[in-house]
Amino acid sequence: MTAVIEMGGARLLACMRIRDLCPALLVGALAACTSTEPQPDPASVPDAVPAAPAVPAPAVPTTAVPTPSVSAPTPTVRTPAVPAPAPTPEPTLDELLAEPDPLRVVDPGAVPPELPIQPWSSTPHTTSWTLRAEPDQAVVLVGELHAGVLGRKGEAWVQIGADGQLADVAMDRAPKLPIVGVWPSDAWFVDERPMKDDDSGMGLGEIRLMKLRDGRRWVPQVSCGSGGEQWFHPGTSDWYEPHASVRSGMLVYNVESFSDLCRVAGRHDEPDFGRHRGRVVDFLETGKGEIYLLTSDADGMYAVAQCSDDDCVRANTRKLPLQHDWSFRRKVARGKHAVSVIATHGVHANHSRMAKERKEDGEPGPSIEREFVLHYRSKAGWLLDELPAGERPNGMWASEEGGLWTLTGERLRWRDTDSVWHDVALPDGLQTPSVALGEDRKQVWLSGVVDGAPKLFTTEANAPKPTNAGG
Q: In terms of domains, do 330 and 412 share one?
A: yes
State the pLDDT at residue 424: 96
Residue 218 falls within a domain, yes or no?
yes
CB contact at 8 A, 342 and 373: yes
Using 50, 70 and 90 to split pLDDT, how confident is the model at 310? confident
| pLDDT band with cut points at 50, 70 and 90 for residue 39 | very low
Average model confidence (pLDDT) for the chain?
Answer: 78
Domain of 49, in residue numbers: 2-97
Does a structural domain hold residue 28?
Answer: yes
Is residue 143 within 8 A of residue 433, CB to CB? The reply is no
Q: Do residues 217 and 129 both lie within one domain? A: yes
**Does a structural domain hold residue 454?**
yes
User: Which of residues 97 and 126 earns the better pLDDT score?
Assistant: 126
Domain stop point among 51, 82, 97: 97
Segment 192-227, tens digit of pLDDT: 999 877 666 677 889 999 999 999 999 999 987 677
Query: pTM value?
Result: 0.73
How many alpha carbons lie under 13 Å from residue 4 in its C-beta half-sphere? 1
313 shares its domain with 350 = yes
Is there a domain that residue 246 lies in? yes
How far apart are the C-alpha atoms of 446 and 238, rounded to whole Å? Answer: 40
> Do 173 and 63 lie in a common domain?
no
Same domain? For 370 and 288 the reply is: yes
What region does 274 belong to: left with phi over 0, alpha with psi -120 to 50, or beta? left
Judge if 448 and 308 occupy the same domain. Answer: yes
53 and 154 belong to one structural domain: no
Q: Report the residue count for the chain.
A: 471
Calpha distance 447→16 (Å, rounded): 77
Q: In sequence order, what are the residues at sequence separation of 6 or more whose Cβ sits closer than 8 angstroms to the Cβ of residue 230?
A: 208, 220, 221, 222, 223
Residues 80 and 130 in one domain: no
Of 31-45, 101-115, 282-296, 362-376, which range is least confident? 31-45
- Give Dmax over CA atoms of the chain in angstroms: 144
Residue of higher predicted confidence among 174 and 359 = 174
Which has the higher per-residue pLDDT, 132 or 45? 132
> Of 97, 132, 149, which residue sits at a domain end?
97
Greatest mean pLDDT among 115-129, 247-261, 348-362: 115-129
The 10s digit of each residue's pLDDT in 361-415 is 444 545 578 999 999 988 889 999 999 998 999 999 999 999 999 999 999 999 9
- Please list the residues that pair with 301 across neighbouring strands: 296
Residue 113 is assigned to a structural domain of this protein: no
CATH number where 169 lies: 2.130.10
In the chain, the number of structural domains is 2
- Nearest C-alpha neighbor of 180 from the set 234, 233, 250: 250
Helix or strand or coil: residue 19? helix
Q: What percent of the chain has pLDDT over 90?
A: 50
E-assigned strand segments in 178-324: 180-182, 186-194, 205-213, 217-221, 240-244, 250-254, 262-264, 279-285, 291-297, 300-304, 317-319
Residue 308: pLDDT band with limits 50, 70, 90:
confident
Amino acid at 345: H
Helix, strand or coil for residue 153? strand
Q: Residue 181: inside a domain, yes or no?
A: yes
pLDDT in tens, 423-440: 999 999 999 999 999 999
Same domain for 366 and 217: yes
In a domain, 232, yes or no: yes
Quick one: 154 and 194 in the same domain? yes
273 found inside a domain: yes
- Are 170 and 50 found together in one domain? no
Does 241 lie in the same domain as 155? yes
Helix, strand, or coil (residue 29): helix
> What does the alpha-carbon distance between residue 400 and residue 398 come to, in Å, rounded to a whole number?
7
